[in-house]
Amino acid sequence: MDKLSFNFDSIPPTWKLCFNEPCPMKETCMRYFAGQHLPADKTTGPAVYPNALQKGKCKLFVEKRVIRAAWGFRKIFLNVKRVDDTPIRREIQQYLGSRPTYYRYMNGQLTLMPKQHTDIINIFREYGYTEDLEFDNYIDRYAYE
């Protein structure tokens, strides 16, 4: 995991960072890890307060881990019949929240979490598609959940 490069811009804008040095959980906490990579020009933002740590446990602890994220839907639609194309796209757009959000996942501005991979693949399976269900791109990245 330590070989994976870290890009501070990958952090969701409302995600809370931690700077609680005495925390016994800091070595495995994604919030603390992200806080340690704070760019010099960033001076404000959401943070975890020290009182989140009570009795050696932090209420906002997020385990530092790497996930396999995906984006792009061209490959997964290659073998879809024309009659199913629009209904499947609409279901995925509804699942992701909107058409613009769908295109952000399509173009790699956002990456799909593992649960989203499964849920989207299940939409295809509901229409009878079971083979070649792969997204266009995959990347290992840190998880913020």
Give buried/exposed letters for 3-25 (b at 16+ CB in 10 A, else e).
eeeeeeeebeeeebbbebeebeb
Give the per-residue pLDDT at 12.
87
Question: What band does 95 get if pLDDT is binned at 50, 70 and 90?
Answer: very high
Cβ contact 141:66 at 8 Å: yes
Q: For 18-56, what is each residue's pLDDT tens digit?
A: 999 999 999 999 999 999 999 999 999 999 999 999 999
Residue 1 pLDDT more than 70? Answer: no
Alpha carbon of residue 104 to chain centroid: 13
pTM of the model: 0.77
In whole angstroms, what is the distance from residue 118 CA to residue 57 CA? 32
Domain spans in the chain, listed from the N-terminal domain onward: 8-58, 66-142
Residue 31's nearest CA partner among 41, 44, 46 is 46
Whether 28 contacts 64, CB under 8 Å: yes
Which band of pLDDT confidence, cut at 50, 70 and 90, is reported for residue 140?
Answer: very high
Q: For 82-93, what is each residue's pLDDT tens digit? A: 999 999 999 999
In the numeric block, the tokens 């229409």 are attached to 127
The per-residue pLDDT for range 96-114, each reduced to its tens digit, is: 999 999 999 999 999 999 9
* Structural tokens at position 37: 């990579």
DSSP state of 35: H
Evaluate whether 16 touches 60 at the Cβ level (below 8 Å): yes
